[in-house]
Structure formats: structure tokens, C-alpha cells
Amino acid sequence: MKTVLTKATPGNDITPLESANRALAREAVAEGIVLLANDGALPVAPCPLALFGAGAASTIKGGTGSGEVNERYSVSIEQGLVNAGFSITTDKWLRDYETLLEKKQEEFRKALARKMLTTSADDRINFMAEGFQYPYGRKIAEDDIKASEGACACIYVVARQAGESSDRNLDKFEYHLSQDEIDNLKTAASAFEKTILVINSGAPVDLSPIDEIGGINAVVFFCQQGMEGGNGFADIVTGAVSPSGCLGATWPLKYEDIPCAMEYSYLKGHTEFEEYKESIYVGYRYYDSFGVKPRYEFGYGLSYANFAIGYSDVKLDKTVVTTTVSITNTSSVHSGKKTVQLYVSAPGGKLRREAKGLAAFGKTDVLAPGESQNIDLVFDFREIAGYDESSSSYILEKGDYIISIGESSSKVLSAAVVTLDETVMTEVCSNICPIDRKLDEIVPVPNDTATQPSPMPSISLKMNASDIVTKEHNYDQPKTEADPKTDAVLKKLSLSDMLKVVNGTGIFDSKQFFRVPGAAAHTTSHLLKHGVPDVALCDGPAGLRLQRTSVRYKNGKLKPVDTALRLHDSIPGLVKKSMYGNVEKGTPLYQYASAFPVGTALAQTWNAGLIERIGKAISAEMVEYGVTFWLAPGMNIQRNPLCGRNFEYYSEDPLLTGKVAAAITRGIQSNAGCYATIKHYAANNQETNRNKSNSIMSERTLREIYLKGFRIAVEEGGAKSVMTSYNKINSVYTPNSYDLCTKALRCEWGFDGVVMTDWFSTGETLANNGLAIKAGNDLIMPGGRGYIKMLKKDMKDGRCTIDDLRLCTARVLKSALESRIVKEM
Ligand code: BGC
């Protein structure tokens, strides 16, 4: 068996795959944009338009760090509007902005380079700290207004950037609007008949100033939308597509309204540990249960069309509820899609439950004016059981469960009450991740009126405890599924071979790193002689993170031309000039990946079918370029809007998160031998000091909020790969947690794939390599000689046994042997 050389090609023409993926990306953009406010200003037919703001011409397509995608080109908001037939009256302001942006980026590169020199080896992974922030742009001048005489409207695009290794700074207008932006919005609102505010950010920004500014006619959460952002935006502005996106996370009235707001990350004065005092009350679970009014609630989103939602039937089959919901487009002009959401309010008992939790959702097709559609919303009561630590079991307590349906977490109508006659255990587990200190969790006031749905439902159903069979788990060390091919190779391997298999080859292995140019790493090529391929692992989640252009020299050597590391290319010691090639001196090779909307934007479509198609589209590119593991989806819970990587994640709600992750996973894995890697497992909810911070929470919170989405992605999506996180949970680094990597993941959820570490997350002062292998974290990434040495020593010191090593080796081997790439070797 021989390693497959790069599949990048000298041809530089747009391929049919690229074109098809662009069309799909544009469809997703238009579905993921959320219309937050509109007094009728939107839609607007093509006309002369005043366009301002940081994201107008330099639209941010996604966050920074490993979530970057290097596509052929991206369509800015300005370009999208021009393509749709608008003429832009503010060219001068926009070109001035581009000059300013270039200057600021150059200053940032230099500052970063200086910082890098003083960063310790274990903390290099945090070198991106304090991400680049887009300038706000100059003040709108009288000349800009004069040039815009006759403009039919003004669109002002506020942009915010965030990314890996640092959380958004509350004091630096990363969450708030700056004074310059507020002043500009005031100017625009008084000068133009219609002013539309657009937010180009991966997470909420504070919109409280607009209450005072007045004269803002519409607000659009554009989010960060990948390569077709501008075109999809224009589809919404012109009304070619009616908005149907709904928020996956609550926008508070003000930052301080968020639970434990000032204790988040660096705000409490240190980042050593993070106490999850809000327990299960994350996002709308908090606002609803504590009676706090948000600005825009979870699930909220306007349309140009109007819809009537009703229910025609609610059926209960043992524990499975099917609610048939009818949706009618009652508007006379606009067509559109509508999302419907089903929530359950569980009775209080031994466990205090949230006011309501999302249990199912669905979306219509495009409905023409007057058209109706029925949708069945289905869920199983066992999926909404609460976790009782004292009996280490999931329980459904006796009492009334109220099912409500509606269009957001605040706008619901109660549809049925299901009464359970006795408390039952739905699942008996073993306790995991014990907390090592006292945690003062917040609790809502009992009988809070906010928890009472109204009016009371008209349908009453009975659920019998005797119909519910309690699930029991077997916690014996799981074996890799008996697999003769894997066993045959395994038998031949020496200790030194096995150590290589459970380690990647590092990021600077020149033989491999550029074989799939831009790959985050590869598995070992040491076993090619045994028929085991070296496979490539590439980032996501907005697409494939690949090197766009490389060059092959006459001697066969391959070098990258453009850098996937972008802003970091001037960092001394990390990327050397000599690592880059010159297209003039060899054959240029190209590979263009599609940049789809970021995770947050995809989730805002609430359209699992569309998301699965995006998974398939990315999978087609994996096959095209020879990638085996996609290092995505990112599916941490959006616990606080300041988290630097929220843009990569889906939602504050575990069910929505899990369903979206399961959908994209199914799409990715629709090509046998391509794997989705669900990450970062788990509770990686802040970025500052990400590789050392300690997430402290009760087991109930961990299971109900932070693990639930991962469980859905494994059980419903069939995820074949998991990436552990950098942080600790209750003082144990996640790669070292047997409870997480084996007990929950494999014994309870039946996972049978590979668990890998996040990049450089093990080391002297970090998670331990030997303990990772013992825990069932099979693959140490990116690996390399230094890591193999550390692991050898850990084995000597008794941190893991040869049997532990063999088990992890078998799992990595099995994945590699079943990789899609094998067919081509
Ligand atoms: C990120 C991961 C990513 C990995 C490989 C890390 O810094 O946390 O999400 O997959 O790098 O690029």
C-alpha cells in the first residue's frame, strides 16, 4: 500500500461540485438569517442604496482560528446587493473603510508576532488570544449624505469578529456598540427615510442603544454566512426569499441579565475555574423560569408572511407523543416557510425542572399565501427525563406534563396535558464526573407564575408508569467490535508500532502535512506495509479547512503557496518563509473548499433536512480531496454570548444542538469511510485560558445540558469520532476522564468509534498522555515524536497498561482500515 498523493489539481476552473455547493450555500444563507424587527421597511426593491458599516464591503464570513475555510471567493454584502441590482451611493465611505481595515490588520500582525515570542510552549495553542477586531469605520460625513440623495434606504452593517482562544471583551465594544457606531446610526436614522441595522457577528451584540436612537426601521441578524453571504442577504432584502430563520440563543435586554453574567470567564478576575452556578438554567430555561424578559427570545424570528399555527391532534403511544400541527400562511402577498416548536413543562417534584424545554421542532416547505401544511412533531418522554444524582438515574416524576406548541419559547399555546400516574426511572446509570466542592446553584422561586402555561390545554392524556421499561447499562470495559481485519493487523504490531498508531504525525511532518494541503494532521504512515493507510484530518465546521494553492516542484516536493494560517504568517518560529513555495517555479495545484454558513447560522435554519444536505456536500469535498476525518461539528452549548467560539456552535439548547449535529453527521457519513468528529467533548464553554480552565458543575447539569447534544449526535447521527476538549470538568482533564470517554460515551450511548484529543491538549502541565489512553481517548493529536516519548514514559510509570494501549490502537486501526481512502490505495 502506498500513500495517496495530494488530490489537488493543476486545473483552476470552477468545478461542477463547487457550483452546486455555492447554490446550496446561498439557500442556507437565506434560511439562516433572522429578521429581528421590521416596521415594513423590508423588503426593498433594487434602488440606489446608502450602505455603511464594518461588515458592508468587508463582510465577515466566519470566525477566526481553525474554523476558517479557504474558499475560492466570498460575496460581500455590498457585492450581493450590487448583483441584485442595487446601486450603492456610499462608495467613498466603503473604500475608506477598506484602507483603514488593511492598516489595522497589519498593526495586529506585528503585535501578535511580538506576543508569540513571550508565550510558553504549552500555551502556544492560545497564540490567537485577543483576536483581531474590525475597526468601526469613520464618522458619516455630510458629503456621504449628499452623495446619497435619492437613496431609497440606508443599510448599516455592524460587524464583530471572534475566534479561538479568547472570549469577547466586554470593555472593548466587542459585545457592545461603540460610540462611533451609535453616532453613525443616529446620523443615518435622521438622514434616511428607512434605516436597516444589520448585525454581522457570530453571536449576539448589545442592542440597547437602538431603543434610544429611534428611527431604526428594521434589524437583521445576518450572522456570519460563508462564501455566499452577500447573495443570500440580497435574496432576503429584495423579498425573493421571505426570512424564516429563528434564533438558537436568547438575546438579553442587557448583558447583566444573563445568569451569573459577571462571573463568566475573565470577568470574575481569573480563569482558573468556572463555576456553573446557573445549573440547568441556561438560556431560555433561565429567562422563562426566573421571569426575566429577554430582548429576543429563543426560537424567535419574523417573516414577511404571517402564519396561523394550530394543532389538530395529539396522540400518545406509551411514551411517544405525536402532535399534528397545522400551519397556514395567512398573508396575501408573501410566500414563506415557518418553523414550529414544541415545548414540555415537566411537573416539579424531587427535581426542580425548567419552566419548559424544547422537545421537538419542524419546518414547513415554502407555503404560498393561503396555503396550509400539517407537520407531525414527535418526541419520546424518556428523552426529556431529568437526572437524579441520588439514585444515579434518569427519572420522570409523576404529575402533569404540559405540551405547548408555538413559534418561539415565549410565544406558545398549550396543546395537551399528559398525566403520569407514578414516578419512574427511565434509565439507571453509574454516576460520572463527581464534583469536588460545594457549588451554590441559583434556584427559581417556586410557583413562579412564569412557569404556568396558559390557557390550560384542552386535550388530556394518561401515561402509565407500568408501560415504561427501565434501561440498564453495562459498564464493563467495552471491546472494539470483533473485526477480523483489525485483529489480523493488530497481532503483528510491536509496542513501538502501537505507540505510533495512537499518535498523529504532528503538524510539521513535511511528508504528510501537505499531502492533503491544509490538513490539521494525519495518522501514522508507519503501517502502510501492513495495509493500514495514513489518513487526513481536516477542520470545519463551516466547510473543509484546506490550503487553496500549493506548488509541486520537479523533484516531487510540495509546498503551500497561500497560507491557511493567514494573520499568523508573520509569527517568528511558527511559520517560516521557506515553508512556502513559488508557483512560478513549479506546477501550481488547487483545491477550493466551500465556505458554508457558520454553525450558529446553520442552526438558525431549524431545517434538519437542509443541514443534512450540507453535510453531504462537505462529504463530497472530503472524497474529492482525500479527507477521512472532518474535525466538526463543533457542538458546545452557547452558555454565554461572550464565548469566542460561539459562532462555531449551534445553540443554547441541547436538543436543537444535538439534532443539528446529528443531521450534519448523517450527511458527512453518507459516504462510507468519511467520519464526522463531534467536538469539543465537553463543557468547553469559554476560550480564555481554554487549555487549563476547570468547568465545575453538578452531574445533573452536565448530563442534561452539556452532554445531551453529544448523546443525540451519537445515538441519532451515528457519529464515528469524538474530539475531547482542552478544559477539565470537575478537576479532571476531559481526555483523562474514563467517565466521559468510556462510561458515558461507549457504555451508555453505544459509541464505537475513535476518541481523539484536541490539538496539543496533552503535555507536562496539561492532560496526561498515558491517562488519556487509559480513559479510552484513543488518539493523541497532533502527536509526533515528543508525544510518543511522553507516552512511553507514562506507560513505564504505570499510567496505562499495554492492554489499554492495544484497545485504543484497535479502534484507530479499525477507522483507518475502513477509511474511504483505502479504495484509492
Ligand atoms: C481547535 C480544534 C481544531 C484543532 C485542529 C484546535 O486549536 O480547538 O477545534 O479541530 O485545533 O485544527
Best mutation site among 539, 568, 675, 762 for ligand 1, i.e. most ligand atoms within 8 A of its Cβ?
539
Would you state the pLDDT for residue 565?
47
Backbone CA torsion sign across 663, 667, 673, 676: negative
684, 691, 759, 781, best to mutate for ligand 1 pocket (most atoms within 8 Å of CB): 759
- Considering only CA atoms, which of 344, 440, 338, 325 is closest in space to residue 383? 344
Distance 66 CA to ligand 1 centre (A): 5
Of 66, 545, 766, best ligand 1 pocket probe by most atoms within 8 Å of the beta carbon: 66
Query: What structural domains and CATH numbers belong to the chain?
Result: 39-241 (3.40.50.1700), 303-472 (2.60.40.10), 485-546+598-820 (3.20.20.300), 547-590 (no CATH)
Q: Which atom of ligand 1 is nearest to the CA of 67?
A: 9
Which residues in the chain show pLDDT less than 50? 448-451, 565-570, 572
pLDDT digits (tens, 9 = 90+) for 9-39: 898 999 999 999 999 999 999 999 999 999 9
Asked if residue 799 lies in contact with residue 774, where contact means CB atoms within 8 angstroms, the answer is: yes
Choose the residue to mutate in 64, 687, 688, 758 for probing ligand 1, maximizing ligand atoms within 8 Å of C-beta.
Answer: 758
B/e letters for 326-350, b = 16+ CB within 10 Å, e = fewer, are: ebbbebeebbbbbbbbbbbbbbeee
Radius of gyration in angstroms for the set of CA atoms belonging to the chain, rounded to a whole number = 26
pLDDT, residue 124, reads 64
Instruction: Report how far ligand 1's centroid is from the alpha carbon of 761 (Å).
Output: 10
Instruction: Give me the chain's average pLDDT, please.
Output: 93
pLDDT at 455: 60
Measured on CA atoms in the order 518, 524, 526, 529, is the torsion positive or negative?
A: negative
How far does residue 758's CA lie from ligand 1's centre (Å)?
Answer: 6
Q: Give nearest CA residue, ligand 1 atom 11.
A: 759
**Nearest atom in ligand 1 to 539's CA:** 10
Predicted pLDDT at 555: 85
Nearest protein CA to atom 9 of ligand 1, as residue: 66
SS3 per residue for 594-638: CCCCCHHHHHCCCCHHHHHHHHHHHHHHHHHHCCCEEECCECCCC
CA of 109 to the centre of ligand 1 (A): 21
65 alpha carbon to ligand 1 midpoint, in Å? 8
For 299-368, strand residue ranges (E) read 307-317, 320-329, 339-345, 357-363
Q: Which atom of ligand 1 is nearest to the CA of 690?
A: 8
Q: Which atom of ligand 1 lies at the shortest distance from residue 782's CA?
A: 5
Ligand 1 centre from 185 Cα, in Å? Answer: 37
76-79 long-range CB contacts below 8 Å, 24 or more apart? 76/229, 76/230, 77/51, 77/155, 77/157, 77/198, 77/200, 77/222, 77/229, 77/230, 77/233, 78/51, 78/230, 79/230
If you measure from the C-alpha of residue 757 to the centroid of ligand 1, how many angstroms do you get, rounded to a whole number? 9
Residue 520 CA, ligand 1 centroid: distance in Å: 8
Instruction: List Cβ neighbours of 667 (8 Å cut-off, separation of 6 or more).
Output: 611, 612, 613, 614, 615, 616, 617, 618, 619
Q: 347: Cβ–Cβ under 8 A, 6 or more apart, which residues? A: 353, 397, 398, 399, 400, 401
Where would I find the beta strands (DSSP E) of 193-239? 195-200, 218-221
Which of 630, 631, 761, 779 for mutating ligand 1's site (highest number of atoms within 8 Å of CB)? 631
Helix axes of 608-625 and 16-32: crossing angle, nearest 10 degrees: 150
Determine the longest span between alpha carbons in the chain, in angstroms. Answer: 79
Three-class SS state of 113: helix
79-107: b or e for each residue (b if 16 or more CB lie within 10 Å)? bbbbebebebbbeebbeebeebbeeeeee
What residue ranges line ligand 1, CB within 6 angstroms? 66, 125, 164, 520, 539, 631, 679, 758-759
Query: How far, in Å, from the CA of 749 to the mean position of ligand 1?
Result: 25
Residue 308 exposure: Cα atoms within 13 Å on the Cβ side: 9
Bridge partners (DSSP) listed for residue 402: 345, 417
Q: What is the pLDDT of residue 563?
A: 62
The Cα-based distances of 192 to 156, 159, 196, 368 in angstroms read 11, 21, 10, 33
| Helices 16-32/229-238 angle, 10° precision | 50
Helix (H) or strand (E) holding 95: helix 91-116
Q: What pLDDT is recorded for position 785?
A: 93
Ligand 1 center from residue 722 Cα (angstroms)? 12
Which H helix or E strand runs over 811?
A: helix 802-817
The residue count of the chain comes to 825
Q: What is the H or E stretch that residue 319 is in? A: none
Report how far ligand 1's centroid is from the alpha carbon of 635 (Å). Answer: 13
Task: Compute, in angstroms, the gap from residue 67 CA to the centroid of ligand 1.
Answer: 8
Supply the pLDDT for residue 577: 67
CB 237 within 8 A of CB 35: no
Using CA atoms, how far residue 680 sits from 81, 371, 740, 755, in Å, is 37, 42, 12, 11
Closest ligand 1 atom, residue 632 Cα:
10
CA-to-CA dists, residue 772 to 475, 496, 707, 730, 748, angstroms: 18, 18, 19, 16, 19
What pLDDT was estimated at residue 569?
47
Instruction: Using most ligand atoms within 8 A of CB, pick from 70, 123, 164 the residue to mutate for ligand 1.
Output: 164
Tell me the backbone φ, ψ of residue 651, rounded to 5 degrees.
-165, 170
- Cα of 746 vs centre of ligand 1, distance in Å, is 23
Return the pLDDT at 400. Answer: 96
DSSP 513-543: HTTTTT-SEE--STTGGGT----EEEE-SSS
Compute, in angstroms, the gap from residue 680 CA to the centroid of ligand 1.
9
What is the residue with the minimal CA distance to atom 6 of ligand 1? Answer: 759
Give the list of residues 6+ apart from residue 71 with CB closer than 8 angstroms, or none: 226, 227, 543, 592, 593, 594, 595
